[in-house]
Every structure is written in structure tokens, then in C-alpha cells.
């Protein structure tokens, strides 16, 4: 049964595009006041879920409730509770910062007096008071994101939905956005649902995380719960050329008695204790067998390891592949 006291309640939601199942029977409750992160690679179904929650897409089957309101029945009433920061940096570049906020105040049916007061509060929050009369197109990337967040908060929604809020930002701007989101969540009691493909962002910011891949929720819990789910202990990772991976897996099995997982060019195994001892043994055997490898490491479980275990693929690798493909495209090297 769905729990209508949740800020967002997703109930057996499915969305098909032709033969492609973008969202596959997802049920999810997002509690009031939490920061919830939907973590997954591109094409996992994150944006589709967001679009359904905004009634920009109709689900094939299933229901979505915003503060207990059925999205399919009363979309406009439900929309009043949501502020959206879309994936594209949506500010009106040809309007000033102030006009941006005013426009959205009006679209959410606020009175002109309320709009004036709220604009001041929002400019303070996003530290854009000095740039209120400047065209938003002249803002830096970080400023535009902050304006986009203020715009989404103009009508004082109880839920803020952010679709990849820090994609494309440098680390300073990213941490600034994180601080801003924390402040909004703590001081204004706004429930935050965000999607991200950055593990460290989900780890640092979110109270709970849903790992999503191929339209299905693969894992759900707090970051530490998820990390514990792959077992106590430490991880040994060996990276090598593709043709050597089989030999390495066999070696690890002999040395530790455990099955290793493979993702890309990395072989990972979890050991309960004495990781350095295990690693020494593995290295010894690899040297004797003359199996070459490029690097080894020991580390505590991260969300990437969780992701690897749950989905069988590494988020880090998919990102790297995408980035290098993108770089090649930009440099005109592709095909």
C-alpha cells in the first residue's frame, strides 16, 4: 500500500517508449524533509521519472502522488507543491535576474506584493543581489544554477526537484550548490529529490539514495547502509589489460578463496580483514605466473562498489567512456 504521508509517492510506475521500457514497475516513497538522490548512469530512467512527477509525461501504468495529491487527477494542484530545476540550465538568458524571478512568481499565480518580497529573499539566498539588473545570459555557470534554484523556490514549494543540478560545474561551484541545497533543506524544510550521476555528490548530500539502472530501482538506503550491503571489510582492486583479466580472476580465487567481480578493466574482491596480506599473496602469485597488471589498490567500500555489485557495471567507467566519446566528438576525432 502506498503511504500518502510521504512527500512523493511513486506506486508501481511503468513508462514505455515503444518497445523500450524506460521505467519498469518502480515503487518509491520519498519522506518529508529528506534529501533523496536518484543515482544512475545516463538513460537509466531518472529523467523519465522526474518528467512523470511533473506531469510532462503520462505514465504507461502506475500512479504518482505529490503530498498525497494524485498527479493524474489534479496536476495543477500538485504542481504548486513542486519547484523544478531542470537538467538544462534553465534561466531566461535574455531577461535580467530579477525579471526571471518575477516571471516565475507570476506563472505560479503569486500576488505582485508577494513577488516583490520573495524576490529579495531569493536574491539574498542565491547571493545574486549585486547582479539583479544584469541579464542572466551574462552570469557564470554557477550563478545561473543558483538563479535557477531561486526561480524554482519563488513560490515556496514544499518539494524541490533537481535534475542533475551540478553537471558541468567545476568543484568550487559544485560545493557551493551543495551548501545552498543543504541550507534550503534545513532552514526551509524543503524536501529535495535530485538525480545525479556523481557518486560523491550522492554520498555527501543525500540522506537516502536509490540506485537505478535500466528503469529499475536496484538498491535503496542511506549511503552507509548501501556501503555495508556489500559486506564488512575492505576491497582489493587489480586493474589490467583485458586479455589478462581471466588469469587474474583465477589467481584471486586461489589466493583468497573468493569470487572476484569484473567491471571494465578492474577486478575487485571483498576481504573481511588483513587486506594487505591478501594483496601480497595475490601479487606474489601474479609475479610467479608472469601475469602483467597496471595497478592495484586497497580501499574501503564506496558507492561505486555498491553500484558495481548491484548493476554489474561501474558508473565510473560509463562516465569515463561517455566523457572520452564526447571529447573525441568535440575534437572532431569521432569516426
Whether the CB-CB separation of 79 and 71 falls below 8 Å is answered with no
- Select the residue interacting with other proteins from 70, 92, 114, 265 (CB under 8 A): 92
Tell me if 80 contacts other proteins by CB under 8 A.
yes
Extract the C-alpha cell encoding 45: 530512467
Tell me if 72 contacts other proteins by CB under 8 A.
no
Q: Nearer Cβ to other proteins, position 48 or 318?
A: 48
Q: What x-and-dash track marks residues 104-143 binding other proteins by CB under 8 A?
A: x-xxxx-------------------------x--------
Tell me if 87 contacts other proteins by CB under 8 A.
yes
With 0-12 / 13-18 / 19 or more C-beta atoms within 10 angstroms meaning exposed / middle / buried, residue 113 is exposed
Tell me if 19 contacts other proteins by CB under 8 A.
no
Extract the C-alpha cell encoding 10: 511513486
For residue 79, the minimal CB distance to other proteins (Å) is 4
Name the one range near other proteins by CB under 8 A: 12-20, 100-108, 274-282, 306-314.
100-108
Q: How far apart are the first and last CA of the chain?
A: 51
Subset of residues 245 to 304 that bind other proteins, contact rule: CB under 8 A = none
d(CA 287, CA 278) in angstroms, rounded, equals 14
- Select the residue interacting with other proteins from 25, 27, 94, 327 (CB under 8 A): 94
162 DSSP 8-state letter? E
Tell me if 194 contacts other proteins by CB under 8 A.
no
For residue 70, what are the β-bridge partners?
65
Q: What x-and-dash track marks residues 37-56 binding other proteins by CB under 8 A?
A: -----------------x-x
Tell me if 99 contacts other proteins by CB under 8 A.
yes
d(CA 10, CA 36) in angstroms, rounded, equals 13
Name the one range near other proteins by CB under 8 A: 28-36, 75-83, 223-231, 260-268.
75-83
- The pairing of strands 266-271 and 234-239 is antiparallel
Count helices and strands in the chain by DSSP H and E runs: 12, 14
Residue closest to 83 by CA, chosen among 127, 32, 148: 148
The binding site for other proteins (CB under 8 A) comprises 54, 56, 75-77, 79-80, 82, 84, 86-90, 92-95, 99, 103-104, 106-109, 135
Amino acid at each position: 500500500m502506498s503511504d500518502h504521508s510521504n512527500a512523493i509517492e511513486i506506486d508501481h510506475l511503468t513508462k514505455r517508449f515503444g518497445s523500450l521500457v524506460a521505467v519498469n514497475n518502480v515503487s518509491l516513497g520519498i519522506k518529508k524533509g529528506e534529501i533523496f538522490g536518484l543515482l544512475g548512469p545516463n538513460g537509466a530512467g531518472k529523467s523519465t521519472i522526474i518528467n512523470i512527477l511533473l506531469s510532462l509525461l503520462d505514465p504507461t501504468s502506475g500512479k504518482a502522488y505529490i503530498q498525497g495529491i494524485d498527479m493524474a487527477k489534479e496536476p495543477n494542484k500538485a504542481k504548486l507543491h513542486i519547484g523544478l530545476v531542470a537538467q538544462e540550465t534553465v534561466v531566461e538568458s535574455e531577461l535580467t535576474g530579477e525579471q526571471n524571478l518575477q516571471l516565475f512568481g507570476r506563472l505560479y499565480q503569486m500576488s505582485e506584493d508577494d513577488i516583490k518580497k520573495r524576490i529579495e529573499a531569493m536574491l539574498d539566498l542565491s547571493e545574486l543581489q549585486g547582479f539583479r539588473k544584469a541579464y542572466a545570459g551574462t552570469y557564470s555557470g554557477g550563478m545561473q544554477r543558483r538563479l535557477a534554484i531561486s526561480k524554482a523556490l519563488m513560490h515556496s514549494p514544499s518539494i524541490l526537484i533537481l535534475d542533475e543540478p551540478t553537471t558541468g560545474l567545476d568543484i568550487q561551484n559544485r560545493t557551493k550548490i551543495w551548501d545552498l541545497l543543504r541550507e534550503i533543506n534545513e532552514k526551509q524544510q524543503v524536501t529535495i529529490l535530485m538525480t545525479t550521476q556523481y557518486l560523491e555528490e550522492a554520498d555527501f548530500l543525500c540522506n537516502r539514495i536509490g540506485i537505478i539502472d535500466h528503469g529499475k530501482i536496484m538498491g535503496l538506503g542511506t549511503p552507509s547502509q548501501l556501503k555495508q550491503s556489500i559486506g564488512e571489510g575492505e576491497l582489493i582492486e587489480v586493474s589490467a589489460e583485458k586479455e589478462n583479466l581471466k588469469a587474474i580472476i583465477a589467481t584471486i580465487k586461489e589466493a583468497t578463496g573468493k569470487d572476484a567481480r569484473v567491471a571494465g578493466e578492474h577486478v575487485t574482491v571483498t576481504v573481511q580483514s588483513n587486506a594487505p596480506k591478501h594483496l601480497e599473496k595475490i601479487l606474489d602469485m601474479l609475479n610467479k605466473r608472469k601475469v602483467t597488471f597496471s595497478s592495484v589498490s586497497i580501499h574501503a567500500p564506496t558507492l561505486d562498489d555498491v553500484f558495481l555489485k548491484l548493476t554489474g557495471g561501474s558508473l565510473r567507467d560509463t562516465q569515463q567512456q561517455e566523457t572520452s566519446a564526447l571529447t573525441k566528438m568535440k575534437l572532431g576525432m569521432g569516426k
